[in-house]
Amino acid sequence: MKFYIPPQLTRLSIAFAIFITLFLLLRKLLIPDTFGQYGHYRGDSLTDNALPVVHYAGQQACLECHQDIEDQKQADVHSRIKCETCHGPGQKHSESAEATNILKPDSREFCGNCHEKNAARRSEAVVQIIINEHNTGKKCIECHNPHQPWTMKE
C-alpha cells in the first residue's frame, strides 16, 4: 500500500524544515555563550559592567576643599543630596581643581528636573513650580542659592 503525499504538503514540510534550521542557526549565532550562566542572564555582563572607568570622586573628595559649602548646605532641604548629583562626575576636578572640570548648572531646565510641577511627585517632599510661569526670563540662581535655597536676594 502506497501513501500519496500531496505536493503542497511536501513543499510545506521542506519550508518548515528550512525555517527550523535557520531559526536554530540564528539562535546559536545571536545568543551569547554565557547566557544562562547565572539564571536568565548573560554571565559576561558582570565583567562588561565592571569595565567602564568611574569618573566620580565621591562626597569625601568634595569636602576636602569645600567643607564651608557643605556646612551651609547641611542646614537646608538639600542636605541629603550629594555634590555630584548636580555638579556631575568630579574626579577630574578633584585631581586638578580647575573650575572647568566641574558642572555649574544654572539653567532653568536643570532646576526643573526636580522642581518642575509633576503630579506624580509629592509636593510636600519637593517644592514644585511651573517653570514657564515662575520668574520667566531669569535664571533660578539669580534668586535662589542652590546651597542655601531659602536665602533670597533682595
| Percent of the chain whose predicted confidence (pLDDT) is above 70 | 96
Cα-based torsion angle of the residue sequence 16, 21, 24, 25 in order, rounded to the nearest 10 degrees = -140
pLDDT in tens, 121-137: 887 778 888 888 888 88
DSSP letter, residue 1? -
Helix, strand or coil, per DSSP, at residue 109: helix
Segments making up each domain of the chain, as ranges: 56-103, 105-154
Q: Rounded to the nearest 5°, which phi and psi values hold at 149?
A: -60, -20
Exposure class string for 108-142: b at 16+ Cβ within 10 A, else e: bebbbeebbeeeeeeeeeeebeebeebeeeeebbe
How does residue 154 score in pLDDT terms, banded at 50, 70 and 90?
very low
Residue 68's contacts (CB-CB under 8 Å, 6 or more residues apart) are none
pLDDT in tens, 12-30: 999 999 999 999 999 999 9
Instruction: Give the pLDDT score at 30.
Output: 94
pLDDT in tens, 27-76: 999 999 999 988 888 999 988 888 888 889 999 999 999 998 888 888 77
Residues composing the chain: 154
Name the burial class of residue 3, with classes exposed (0-12), middle (13-18) and buried (19+) by CB atoms within 10 angstroms of its CB.
exposed
Is the model's pTM score more than 0.75?
no
